[in-house]
Amino acid sequence: MEAKETLKVWVEEHSQTLYNFAVSKIDDTEIAKDLVQDSFIAAYAGFENYKENSSPRTWLIGILKHKIADHYRSLYKNEHISITQEGTSAFFDNVGMWDSKHIPKDFSTDVNLLDDTEFLYVLNACIGKLPKKLNSAIQLKYYSDISSSQICKDLSITATNFWQMLHRAKLRLRECLEINWFKV
Amino acid sequence: MRFIMSWLMLSCNKATELVEKKIYFGLSISERIKLLFHNRNCAVCEHYQKQSVWLHDILKVFLAKNGNKPVSILPADFKSRIIRKIEEI
């Protein structure tokens, strides 16, 4: 079948599936829509790489995954970090001791919380509240099982740079959960 | 002795950085010793470590899965817009 005709059928059949996948990885629905559209266009451009015997859905999702990773990579690279807002200075004093307002309290670390929809709601909100660069660091690390060193290679950054970013992100996530879930 | 102590001493900022380095990249032997020594003397950073490993496990499952977001239906003209784009190429 001709590429254009095939693509039209695929758009009809798989748009919703691709969109569901995209919004599960990206909060902004407009960006999710753009990425779905870009994926179909990329599928058309690279149609000769499609193997007849594989499922179009799997192939399209594969393309979409690349688009999502590209999106977070460019977010990570283009967001400039503001040290006051996104650094660690709010959490530690100038000799690196915990700031009294930010000292982590002990809370129960139970993986069964993953079954609690209310907890997941709070977790999702806390991830969404992270500054963009820190959010994209977390998304890049966890949305698929790429190794940390591969992520650094793709971003051309050093390992130190990346774990420091994850440190800043997790200081905030941890505190957000402590305040909004464990304290309530 | 003073030399050893100053080599061993980590600030909490550094110690919690090493917690993250340990999770994502692994630590050298000297970093492992320093972190162990710090956390043995600092209950707060020990909590941090426990919580950070937990958070790592939680995020692995939560973000790799589809999350728990309600999914909205695509607007009616979405598909026709894409088809038009493809027609134009």
By the 8 A CB rule, do A182 and B31 touch?
A: no
pTM: 0.84
| pLDDT tens by residue, B51-83 | 999 999 999 998 876 555 566 788 888 999 999
Q: What is the ipTM of this complex?
A: 0.84
Parent domain of B57:
2-88
pLDDT value at residue B69? 59
Cβ of A15 and B72 within 8 Å?
Answer: no
Encode pLDDT of A155-172 as tens digits. Answer: 999 999 999 999 999 999
Residues A39 and A60: beta-carbon distance below 8 Å:
yes
**Helix, strand or coil for residue A28?**
coil
DSSP state of A87: S
Nearest Cβ partner for A163 among B20, B63, B66: B20
Radius of gyration of chain B (CA): 24
Confidence of residue B8 (pLDDT cuts 50, 70, 90): confident
The domain total for chain B is: 1
Contact state of A19 with B52 under an 8 Å Cβ cutoff = no
A159-177 helix and B12-24 helix, angle to the nearest 10 degrees = 110
- How many CA atoms does the CB half-sphere of B65 hold within 13 Å? 13
- For residue B40, the tally of other CB atoms under 10 A from its CB is 10
